[in-house]
Amino acid sequence: MKKDKKYYGDIWFVGKEDKKQFCVLFFKDDDIFLETNLCSEKRVYKELQIVGTFTGVGYVTFIDCRIQNSASGISELRIYRPKYTFVSTSHFINAIDLQIKEFSVVNNAIVKWVNFMNWFDTQTNNLSTKEFKDEFKIEKEGLIIEIQHYINYHSKNRSELHITNKGAIKFTLDKPVAILKAIEIYNQFQKVLQLLRGGSEKFSEFSFKCLSCNEWKELYYNDKNLSKKTPTFVHTNYDEITDDLNKVLEVVYNDNDFKFCLDRLMENFITNHSSHSKRFTNSISAFEAYCKIYSGINPPNLKKYIKHYKSAFKLIGKLTDEDWETFPSKLIRSRNYHIHSDLKNKNIFTDFELLYISFLIDYVIGYLLLKNIDASNLLLDKFIMHGNSVYVDMKRTNQILGTNPLENE
């Protein structure tokens, strides 16, 4: 389905095909909407399942359809917003009991990660391309992840041929899983993209192989997980960190401790924050969670945690010995002020400083997580370099730009 088009068809409630109604399907802000006269006889806020057929689409199953708007008069009008949409060209999909073993997600973040530009050599009449399929086995989970980079050829008309790089992640499992579990597996991979590449993007296609007919079907939902514009982590090229990727995938899907810390770290890239202090509280909580698991310090003590990882803070934040004399105590006072509401604390970080302290903590956690799995020096150096750039250089620049002459009056 194309997001700039409208689709027309008939929809009905399951088991009530004789009461089908005309429907217009359209996209708005990456959500699917259904405008129709179909409505329940009872007062409801959403319909659990609606099915229908649409010209140019096929057999469609809509799940968790919230009523966005309703109007009554001579006729009833409903606008539904389904959370999940299943599309097939041959039969309706029983989404409630659906189990799958193979699914593939087309995501342009892979193309940007590979970072290869096609070009045509006029001397040899050859097109320079980059196509590959890299396989990563997660044996304990019975999972194979295949990263694909390939060429898509599309004739727009008789005078134009479009050549486009495409990237996809294919997941193959030993045992069938429910569709929500498949989405969870994909979301974990997106967190790996955020950690190693600096971000993910909304998928352009999410397809799965139907176990009953062995054909590929399509799933659509508005993926809001790690796909909006957020501050990036680090920038890497795919080719230079393939070995590191293998190590990270292994622990992300096998090691609950690593997964938990990564999930906490990624909160700052998922959640829209209302303030710098909220971002800071997320970061310091993630740091304490990491230390509780990995530092070996008991009982939990933030002061000891900070001093234990002194070298990482000084390395990534370019903190001098003079800076370090006040840094731990100021960080603890700021934590107590914003998390424990200890308003008696003075000499805490300003709202502006909290943002960059939060960035620093995030880079420290990412650096330590990767160091624990023996990541390459190349990747670790990137965390150090980007941490320096954000905490030192960007902070200094924004401090100058953010100066308000009126505050000096």
Coil, strand, or helix at residue 314? helix
Partners of 51 in the beta sheet?
Answer: 12, 61
Contact partners, residue 294, CB within 8 Å, separation at least 6: 257, 261, 368, 372
* CA atoms in the 13 A half-sphere facing the CB of 191: 24
Q: pLDDT by residue (tens digit) across 17-31?
A: 999 999 999 999 999
pLDDT at 112 (0 to 100)? 94
Contact partners, residue 364, CB within 8 Å, separation at least 6: 287, 309, 312, 313, 316, 387
The domain limits of the chain are: 7-88, 99-220, 255-403
pLDDT at 58 (0 to 100)? 96
Residues 354 and 351: their CA atoms lie apart, in Å, by 5
CATH number of 99-220: 3.30.310
pLDDT at 392 (0 to 100)? 76
Residues 398 and 393: their CA atoms lie apart, in Å, by 9
Residues 194 and 167: their CA atoms lie apart, in Å, by 16
Contacts 24+ apart (CB under 8 A), 133-142: 134/242, 136/245, 136/246, 136/249, 138/249, 138/250, 138/253, 138/254, 140/253, 140/254, 141/253, 141/254, 142/173, 142/174, 142/175
Q: pLDDT by residue (tens digit) across 142-186?
A: 999 999 999 998 888 888 888 899 999 999 999 999 999 999 999
pLDDT at 188 (0 to 100)? 95
pLDDT at 400 (0 to 100)? 65
The amino acid at 159: S
pTM for the structure as a whole: 0.91
Residues 307 and 322: their CA atoms lie apart, in Å, by 15
CB-count exposure of residue 90 (10 Å: 0-12, 13-18, 19+): exposed
User: Pairing between strand 132-138 and 31-36?
Assistant: unpaired
Token pair of 246 as six digits: 């293998």
For residue 270, the surrounding DSSP H or E stretch is helix 256-270
For the chain, the residue count is 409
Residues 184 and 252: their CA atoms lie apart, in Å, by 12
Residues of the chain with pLDDT under 70: 226-232, 271-274, 395-396, 398-409
Residues 129 and 277: their CA atoms lie apart, in Å, by 47
